[in-house]
Amino acid sequence: MDPLWNNIFRKKHDEDSLAYFLNNLPMFAELNGRELNVLEKMVHVRNYGVSEFVFEEGDPGTGMYMIRSGGVSILAKNQQGTDDELALLGPGDFFGETTLTAPAPRSATARTTEQTELIGLFRADLLELVERQPTLTSRILIGLTRIVSERLQTASQEIRNLNKLIGEQLPTEIVET
Amino acid sequence: MKDYQPSRRGWTRGQVLLAFLILTSAIACGLAVYSSATTFIGVTRTAFSVLFLPLLLSLVLAFLLEPPVAKLSNYFNRTSSIFIVYLLVLAIFLVSTLWLLPQWQELWGNLTTDIPRYTAKLTEFLRQLLENLHNRFPVFESYDLPSKVRGWGEQLLAAILTSTPQSAMKVGGLFVIVPLFTFFFLRDGKAIMRALTAMAPNRHFEMAHDLSHLVTRQLGHFVRGRILEAIIIGLVVTLGLSLTDIRYASILGIFAGVTNLIPYIGPIIGMIPGILIAFVDLGVGPQFWWIVILYILIAQVLIDNFILIPILISRVSNLHPLWVFFAIIAGGKLYGVIGMIIGVPIVSIIKIAALEIRTYRRTFRLPETALDTERQY
């Protein structure tokens, strides 16, 4: 096909567009082109330097971050007061999604490991969107709920396994406490 | 791990905040001293003071028109919904102008005869009162209150006659600028806020973003509540007055509504002209007492205090009377009569923003402090 016409019949979103990136995230996979355009205007693109804090443990948490490029390490304080690395996240990963609907202090610290571009989605914007575009908001929330539920199920399973492990090792002490 | 240590040198957030406050106040003091000496700052200040009022009015208007525009933008795009709302407002404005114009003309025509008449009546009343007083306390003999009041009345008349054409020019200018500004605030307000919060450093961006939303919402409630309250009070007073034979019922109602924007003092100022005119024109009789009751009991106590304030305005934004006086005096000093009206709302707005920030911090501190107290016990 002629390259001039190619441009008109191109795919809905360029591969390096923000909408394309968002569509590839599991929670926004169900959104159509128009909805992605709205979402694109709603999120905030932030650029971080090397080893910059995104947030620290105990900070007010009001939204989630998605990593477009770079890397973020999730840290939590241990009993000695030093930081333990819980996870190292890369492009396409996201974190902080639990505070998007229920505001709470951050339970861990997030710090970039290299030059990083983060996409922030915050509760205030979502609450505003509920009134303007209820359908779109429900779709976003359903996608989000699915992710949170999956994580919750995994966590519950893990707790059950751990309990079983502890129960096998120290049955009497658990009963006493 | 060690390379991260320098960014967290043993300063708690409270200390950082304190240092920040001290620094900013030092800078502010420096600027204040500097500004008195330089013309550059004087020029910018003049430019700002010219823009201040139209900007403020446009913001208020934008807050006021935001809900209908938001409602309409479910059906049309945002720009056309703004235009539809503008047309509606224009229609309401034209209708009320047509209704008010004859009364304004009458008022303007009678002003030169009426104000001396009202002040003469007032001085007469005061003279009788003083004679009574002189008989009991001869000390007051030297103080000539009636002639002072007559002087004030003449000054007031002169001021109104000279400044009305001037202020008409100003108001005419506002009629062009304010709708224009309001249009852009309504259309691009969100984008402007986004651009402003986007300037926040990464570390504080999230909080700045959330707070800007909270403060904007509270401000919207406050502004809409206050304006709606003023409009309702104005309507009630107008309706109540038009039941009597008093002249200028609608203008007195508007005056009562506008002054109602100032807490504590506003309602009193708002009822003075009405009661004065009623006293002079109608004499002390059933109609006069009806007007007094209307102003004080019906408009202020019943409608405003028992119905409107609890519904429209949260107690949170209430200012201490002392702050109200400060705001009125400072506002009057800075921007004259308009400053007196907008001074209190501006201080309330600052208070709302501060409170919102404090509750925000407290909300997120709560789990920690709860844990701390648990540990103590």
What does the pLDDT read at residue A65?
93
Q: Is the pLDDT of residue B84 over 70?
A: yes
Task: Specify if A3 maps to a domain.
Answer: no
Could you tell me the pLDDT band of residue B39, with boundaries at 50, 70 and 90? low
pLDDT at B183 over 80: yes
What would the pLDDT profile of A14-48 be if each residue is shown by its tens digit? 677 888 888 888 888 888 888 888 888 889 999 99
Average pLDDT, chain B: 77
Domain presence at residue A4: no
Chain A touched by B371 (CB under 8 Å)? no
Residues of A in contact with B198 (CB under 8 A): 44
- DSSP, residue by residue, B88-157: HHHHHHHHHHHHHHHHHHHHHHHHHHHHHHHHHHHHHHHHHHHHHHHHH-GGGGG--HHHHHHHHHHHHH
Alpha-carbon gap: B7 to the closest alpha carbon of chain A (Å): 10
One-character DSSP codes across A112-136:
ESSSEEEEEEEHHHHHHHHHH-HHH
Q: Which of B123-132, B244-253, B307-316 has the lowest mean pLDDT?
A: B307-316
Give all strands (DSSP E) within chain B, no chain letters.
Answer: none
Rounded average pLDDT over A137-154: 89
Q: Do A62 and B210 touch (CB under 8 A)?
A: yes
Task: Look up the pTM and report it.
Answer: 0.70
Extents of the domains making up chain B: 61-199, 201-362
Number of domain units in chain A: 1
The 10s digit of each residue's pLDDT in B272-324 is 888 888 887 777 778 888 888 888 878 777 777 777 777 776 555 667 778 87
In a domain, A134, yes or no: yes
> B342: distance to nearest CA of chain A, Å?
29
- pLDDT value of residue B2: 43
Q: Is residue A21 part of a domain?
A: yes
CB contact under 8 A, B209 and A44: yes
Facing A46 at nearest CB: one of B74, B202, B212:
B202
Residues A60, B205: C-beta atoms closer than 8 Å: no
- Cβ-defined contact of B73 to A128 (cutoff 8 Å): no
B1 contacts on A by Cβ (under 8 Å): 82-83
Check if B238 contacts A (Cβ < 8 Å).
no
**B56 — contact with chain A (CB < 8 Å)?**
no
Residue A114 is assigned to a structural domain of this protein: yes
Residue A75, classed as helix, strand or coil, is strand
B367 and chain A: CB distance < 8 Å anywhere?
yes
Other CB atoms within 10 Å distance of the CB of residue B342: 22
Asked whether residue A102 is domain-assigned, the answer is: yes
pLDDT of residue A2: 54
Q: Is residue A16 included in any domain, yes or no?
A: yes
Q: Does residue B110 have a pLDDT over 70?
A: yes
- CATH code (residue A60): 2.60.120.10
Range picked from A72-86, B1-15, B134-148 for highest mean pLDDT: A72-86
pLDDT surpassing 80 at residue B114: no
pLDDT band at B373 (very low <50, low <70, confident <90, very high): very low
**How many angstroms separate the CA atoms of B56 and B331, rounded?**
14
pLDDT digit string, tens, across residues A42-84:
899 999 999 899 988 888 888 899 999 999 999 988 888 788 8
CA neighbours within 13 Å on the CB side: how many for B123?
A: 17
What's residue B7's pLDDT? 47
**Stretch B326-349: mean pLDDT, rounded?**
78
Residue A34 near residue A151, CB atoms below 8 Å: no
The predicted structure's pLDDT at residue B367: 47
Residue A18 falls inside a structural domain: yes
User: Percentage of residues in chain A with pLDDT exceeding 70?
Assistant: 88
Percentage of residues in chain B having pLDDT higher than 90: 4
Q: How many CA atoms lie within 13 A of B71 on its CB side?
A: 6
